Structure 1
Amino acid sequence: MASDTGAADLEGSVEDLRRRLSRVWETLRGVDIDVRPFRPGRDGPLATFDVPEGEREIDRYWVNAPYAYVVVTYDDADSEHRYYAVEPDLDRFERDLLDRVVDDIRDPLLYREGTGKTDAATLRGELESLLESYGVDAGMDTFHALTYYLYRDFRGYGRVDPLLNDRHIEDVSCDGYDLPIFVYHDEYTDIQTNVSFGKQELDNYVIRLAQQSGRHVSVGDPIVETTLPDGSRAELALGEEVTPRGSAFTIRQYAEDPFTPIDLVEYGTFSIEQMAYFWLCIEHNKSLIFAGGTASGKTTSMNAVSMFVPPRAKVLTIEDTRELSLYHDNWLSSVTRERRYEGTDIDMYDLLRSALRHRPEYIIVGEVRGDEAITLFQAMNTGHTTFSTMHADSIETVINRLENEPINVPRAMVQSLDMLSIQTLTRSGDQRVRRAKTIGEIGGIDQRTGELDYSSAFEWDAESDEFRRNDSSLMDEIADERGWSRSELLREIERRERFLELLRALDVTDYRTFTALVNEYYADPERVMDRLESRADGTAADDGDRRGDVTAGGERAADADRR
């Protein structure tokens, strides 16, 4: 028995020595790797996942096919969902190989001219050369797995990359060392992931995020608010001085293309009637503030209704971090700047004062919270139309915040504000939804009480999840300005509501197309309405033909529709 064991050990040692000698020989002579596109059917899956015991799979979808996908499970014992980011599998040899490749590839990429444009093809070429020089005859599964991790770490967002590629995720939150990252998922709300960072990894990652966005973070200056290259908004904290559990970050994602008014109607945030109301008010230079709590959709709503701004009107936006995106020819965007090594800070107050010298017709300010509010309301009083956001949960709270520390806008100036939209993030049934709780109109100062009058043009009924329309003094003002009778005003409102209904029926949600059609409406409303009606009639006729085919036994068409 002992002799058999010894023979087996000797045989294993000889085999190991043979493999080493073979590897040395391959390294000396080199190899040629025949790189080709990854073929899942032939090369097999790159990433595998086994559902943990006690959990059951709820959902599975790609976030970066064919490399990374997401599995959502449900733990019945804890009554909670879990989120698993699944990336290509690497064995020990492949991990060691990846570490060596990363070290050897970094310098050539760093010193090559134009490295800022390093793409997947460049990384594939460098990887192929290195593997051939190592003498590693890698299979396509290993080659493409290594390519994925190189691109993820050099050009992507490292370990968080699958989360930021998930279109269902709005927020990514890391609260400290060795703690699981949480995300806000549009279907499963707040959910724990399988991604976490150790101490050194997390410190380095926070520094990297700051550097990627052109900012500096250090122990002496540990808090940074910035915008990442993909447009996401990031709040970073380094070390344990201000965040005792360790470095932390929150990344808030925005859609690549901004939401249009049609999108917000589809989501139930606003109704068609409310959007037609905003359109008329914005065209007639009524100033507006969107208020609400965190993540209630204030900036998204402001960006969406800004698409109603008349074409060629000069628009100027002022923000701390870039969030607004307009498809407007005459748009000047400005962002605050913090002093780094020399020069001075440029805050929102400075930008707003400068903005007035550009003679804009519309001024859009990211958020009102300090000295800039006085200048903003002075701009309102001198005929500039302004949009902004602020944190408040009711019309009364907005007025109180504006009139008191630290904003301190005189009541006589507050009355130059025309509209307030109060947003809320709430629950409707078993879903978290965003709704415009109230759209209010600011009146004058009551001579008897000295208080500011206001009224509600629209109110949201939580029980029925519907919007109720009330009388609007702003609509009466617009009718007087245009010389419209009551019937002419109602006819124009109904036409714009019909216009928006047609865009909704035709699924016009691209912000460029939406803005172009609104601009066309300003130029010739009858022509664009006729064209949209014809397109809608044609779509309805096609749908009717398809339904007829199915009714007549067109099973193939029915299957295609289901797919």
Structure 2
Amino acid sequence: MSGDVRRGGEPEDRIEMLRRRVVRTWEMLRGSDVEVRPFRPGEDGPLATFSAPDGHDEVDRYWVNAPYAYVVITYDREASEHQYHAVEPDLDDFEVDLLRRIVDDIRDPLLYRESVGTADAETLKDELENLLEQYGVEVGMDTFHTLLYYLYRDFRGFGKIDPLLNDGHIEDVSCDGYDLPIFVYHTDYTDIETNVQFASEELDNYVIRLAQQSGRHISVGDPIVETTLPDGSRAELALGEEVTPRGSAFTIRQYAEEPFTPIDLIDYGTFSVAQMAYFWLCIEHNKSLIFAGGTASGKTTSMNAVSMFIPPRAKVLTIEDTRELSLYHDNWLSSVTRERLHEGSDIDMYDLLRSALRHRPEYIIVGEVRGDEAVTLFQAMNTGHTTFSTMHADSIETVINRLENEPINVPRAMVQSLDMLSIQTLSRFGDERVRRAKVIGEIHDIDQRTGELDYSSAFTWNPSDDEFSSNDSELLGEIQEERGWSRAQLLREMNRRERFLELLGELGVTGYRRFTALVNEYYADADRVMEKLEDELEGA
């Protein structure tokens, strides 16, 4: 349980325990009748109240779990910084004691009815109503729904950080140790301190719980776990003080419920329409691609988005160590590494990649290139498989150096089978932190004079005016030759795809299902879908 509703303190003496048993027996014999009805905000609320701390000005307020929990952003004038306040329903002393007792008594019936971790709101409501009637406690609907909120939050949700993980503005949640405030990365206020923190024992238990919820084991002997939570968030967990001296720690990276589409990334300014049309044509013609950049630069998001350009019937296989990719594609086989502590053997990315080649996929998407699996990945490129992946690097030169040296060690002759590199950056433009494609490069042959790999930039980002510029592309020239097009035909096709993406943006088509369906229509009959979209825009 979280700290504000968890039992604590020393064990009660025998007399107190006997007194409580007598009281509980009497209450159960007496009973009560709780008339449960839906929550009525105007009549039963508000459940949560907030007053800004001294010296703070309130600058923002919004719901994260209406009508129970909301967020208030304040500005501390003295410290010149924002603070994030998660506001949950108020509990008085009676309600705190009552909730502790309910938590103790509700576990057994839940274990018999279903797993505690999957108890739904209706089950919890029924058990809460039964317990209150057994206790003989008369409560108002404000108290009933407050108790129900905390039960659901702690049994089904994520405890104290549940409001943070329900906030669509938050990308990262970071806990750095015992009794330290949790920090979040907020899309509007960047890195910001919250009013949530964990005591030592409470934090240890919470980290163990996060590992268990995701089907993993964590212990003092094996204190670091990287995993995926049931809601799809990626979590890095550390238990105890052996590797993190300030105490147990965790970082949770949130992902959107629906994957970002190329239209979303154009709207955010990460890529231009011309760049997306370029990716589309190259992906259709089986050009391999790596997205590189620093932490939180949008590598995986971008790779997931451009994967929506893969032709509809092509066989796609994804390989990851933690589940992040989400494709809306019929012929998609997803594979994830496995770590076994006792029975069986580990299955790493290298094993999955070797197995993947036997499935004869046309496109292979690898979550991140880190080690010796990269050689197999580049072997797959050399044998005609189109591959996408990500890696940590901040320039084309750094990508090439990392690929050719320890611990990856891909031979230079194999590196040249890579076609494209997109270097992503998380940068500051004006008052905002933005994600941009710093450069989109193309890998060429090995220079016979110097022995170095040749490469060029097809697109570059100018941070001074936040604009993208384009250069000549050898890959587009290769596609032109493969298709037997004239230069005019190539430009016409690029312009048509740019117009297609512009139309989807103007029509507000950002949902990945409709976006993918329209791309598939384009592959089937480009002229017909273009005409349909133009008509739709005229009638809008």
Same fold (TM over 0.5): yes
Cα 1:112–1:27 change in 2 (3 A) is closer
2:239 touches 2:249 (CA, 8 Å); kept in 1?
Answer: yes
Verify: 1:189 aligned to 2:180, yes or no: no
Alpha-carbon distance between aligned partners in 2 of 1:516 and 1:22, rounded to the nearest angstrom: 64
Opposite residue 464 of structure 1, the aligned amino acid is: D
Alpha-carbon distance between aligned partners in 2 of 1:401 and 1:179, rounded to the nearest angstrom: 36
Opposite residue 399 of structure 1, the aligned amino acid is: I
SS of 1:196's partner is coil
**Deviation digits for residues 447-482 of structure 1 (CA, Å, limit 9, x no counterpart):** 111110000000000011010011000000000000
Alpha-carbon distance between aligned partners in 2 of 1:300 and 1:340, rounded to the nearest angstrom: 31
Opposite residue 389 of structure 1, the aligned amino acid is: T
| 1:11 matched residue in structure 2 | none
Alignment map for 1:155-174 (pairs within 5 Å):
155-174=156-175
Alignment map for 1:218-237 (pairs within 5 Å):
218-237=219-238
2:317 touches 2:364 (CA, 8 Å); kept in 1?
Answer: yes
Alignment map for 1:390-405 (pairs within 5 Å):
390-405=391-406
Alpha-carbon distance between aligned partners in 1 of 2:23 and 2:119, rounded to the nearest angstrom: 34
| 1:304 matched residue in structure 2 | 305
| 2:460 matched residue in structure 1 | 459
| 1:415 matched residue in structure 2 | 416
Opposite residue 186 of structure 1, the aligned amino acid is: T
SS of 2:152's partner is helix
| 1:372 matched residue in structure 2 | 373
CA offset at residue 438 of structure 1? 0.1
Alpha-carbon distance between aligned partners in 2 of 1:43 and 1:330, rounded to the nearest angstrom: 51
Alpha-carbon distance between aligned partners in 2 of 1:458 and 1:397, rounded to the nearest angstrom: 18
Alignment map for 1:479-518 (pairs within 5 Å):
479-518=480-519
Alpha-carbon distance between aligned partners in 1 of 2:331 and 2:443, rounded to the nearest angstrom: 29
Alpha-carbon distance between aligned partners in 2 of 1:286 and 1:25, rounded to the nearest angstrom: 75
| 1:315 matched residue in structure 2 | 316
Verify: 1:289 aligned to 2:293, yes or no: no
Verify: 1:36 aligned to 2:37, yes or no: yes
**Deviation digits for residues 542-562 of structure 1 (CA, Å, limit 9, x no counterpart):** xxxxxxxxxxxxxxxxxxxxx
Alpha-carbon distance between aligned partners in 2 of 1:28 and 1:336, rounded to the nearest angstrom: 55
Alpha-carbon distance between aligned partners in 2 of 1:165 and 1:91, rounded to the nearest angstrom: 25
Alpha-carbon distance between aligned partners in 2 of 1:531 and 1:67, rounded to the nearest angstrom: 44
Alpha-carbon distance between aligned partners in 2 of 1:33 and 1:337, rounded to the nearest angstrom: 48
SS of 1:121's partner is helix
Cα 1:93–1:114 change in 2 (3 A) is closer
Alpha-carbon distance between aligned partners in 1 of 2:414 and 2:162, rounded to the nearest angstrom: 47
SS of 1:99's partner is helix
| 2:73 matched residue in structure 1 | 72
Opposite residue 157 of structure 1, the aligned amino acid is: F
**Deviation digits for residues 359-401 of structure 1 (CA, Å, limit 9, x no counterpart):** 0000000000100000000000000000000000000000000
Opposite residue 249 of structure 1, the aligned amino acid is: F
SS of 2:198's partner is coil
1:213 touches 1:226 (CA, 8 Å); kept in 2?
Answer: yes
| 2:105 matched residue in structure 1 | 104
| 2:254 matched residue in structure 1 | 253
| 2:207 matched residue in structure 1 | 206
CA offset at residue 22 of structure 1? 12
Alpha-carbon distance between aligned partners in 1 of 2:125 and 2:452, rounded to the nearest angstrom: 68
Alpha-carbon distance between aligned partners in 2 of 1:297 and 1:288, rounded to the nearest angstrom: 15
CA offset at residue 24 of structure 1? 9.4
Alpha-carbon distance between aligned partners in 2 of 1:203 and 1:25, rounded to the nearest angstrom: 37
Verify: 1:85 aligned to 2:65, yes or no: no
Alpha-carbon distance between aligned partners in 2 of 1:232 and 1:46, rounded to the nearest angstrom: 29
**Deviation digits for residues 43-76 of structure 1 (CA, Å, limit 9, x no counterpart):** 1200000000100001000000000000000001
SS of 1:323's partner is coil
Alpha-carbon distance between aligned partners in 2 of 1:421 and 1:22, rounded to the nearest angstrom: 69
| 1:137 matched residue in structure 2 | 138
Point out the more displaced range, 108-117 or 232-241.
108-117
| 1:471 matched residue in structure 2 | 472
Alpha-carbon distance between aligned partners in 2 of 1:536 and 1:461, rounded to the nearest angstrom: 32
SS of 1:63's partner is strand
| 2:425 matched residue in structure 1 | 424
2:118 touches 2:156 (CA, 8 Å); kept in 1?
Answer: no
Alignment map for 1:254-273 (pairs within 5 Å):
254-273=255-274
1:23 touches 1:135 (CA, 8 Å); kept in 2?
Answer: no
| 1:554 matched residue in structure 2 | none
| 2:444 matched residue in structure 1 | 443
Alpha-carbon distance between aligned partners in 2 of 1:25 and 1:473, rounded to the nearest angstrom: 85
Alignment map for 1:115-126 (pairs within 5 Å):
117-126=118-127
Cα 1:105–1:25 change in 2 (3 A) is closer
SS of 1:142's partner is helix
SS of 2:265's partner is helix
Opposite residue 109 of structure 2, the aligned amino acid is: P
SS of 2:167's partner is coil
Opposite residue 187 of structure 1, the aligned amino acid is: D
CA offset at residue 118 of structure 1? 1.6
Name the % identity: 82
**Deviation digits for residues 2-41 of structure 1 (CA, Å, limit 9, x no counterpart):** xxxxxxxxxxxxxxxxxxx999986542111111111111
Q: Structure 2, unaligned stretches of length 5 or more?
A: 1-21
CA offset at residue 147 of structure 1? 0.1
TM-score (norm 1): 0.91
Alpha-carbon distance between aligned partners in 2 of 1:253 and 1:402, rounded to the nearest angstrom: 29
Cα 1:82–1:116 change in 2 (3 A) is closer
| 1:341 matched residue in structure 2 | 342
Alpha-carbon distance between aligned partners in 2 of 1:292 and 1:45, rounded to the nearest angstrom: 45
Alpha-carbon distance between aligned partners in 2 of 1:430 and 1:143, rounded to the nearest angstrom: 44
| 1:355 matched residue in structure 2 | 356
1:27 touches 1:136 (CA, 8 Å); kept in 2?
Answer: no
2:171 touches 2:253 (CA, 8 Å); kept in 1?
Answer: yes
**Deviation digits for residues 116-166 of structure 1 (CA, Å, limit 9, x no counterpart):** 542111101100010011011100000000000000000000001000000
Opposite residue 368 of structure 1, the aligned amino acid is: V
1:337 touches 1:346 (CA, 8 Å); kept in 2?
Answer: yes
**Deviation digits for residues 473-524 of structure 1 (CA, Å, limit 9, x no counterpart):** 0000000000000000000000000000000001111111111110110001
SS of 1:149's partner is helix
SS of 2:501's partner is helix
Alignment map for 1:483-562 (pairs within 5 Å):
483-539=484-540
**Deviation digits for residues 237-283 of structure 1 (CA, Å, limit 9, x no counterpart):** 00000000000000000001100000000000000000000000000
CA offset at residue 343 of structure 1? 1.0
Q: Structure 1, unaligned stretches of length 5 or more?
A: 1-20, 540-563
Q: CA RMSD for the aligned pairs?
A: 1.3
Count residues with an aligned counterpart.
519
2:24 touches 2:135 (CA, 8 Å); kept in 1?
Answer: no
1:321 touches 1:336 (CA, 8 Å); kept in 2?
Answer: yes
CA offset at residue 341 of structure 1? 1.2
Opposite residue 282 of structure 1, the aligned amino acid is: I
Opposite residue 102 of structure 1, the aligned amino acid is: V
TM-score (norm 2): 0.95
Cα 1:104–1:536 change in 2 (3 A) is same
CA offset at residue 114 of structure 1? 5.8
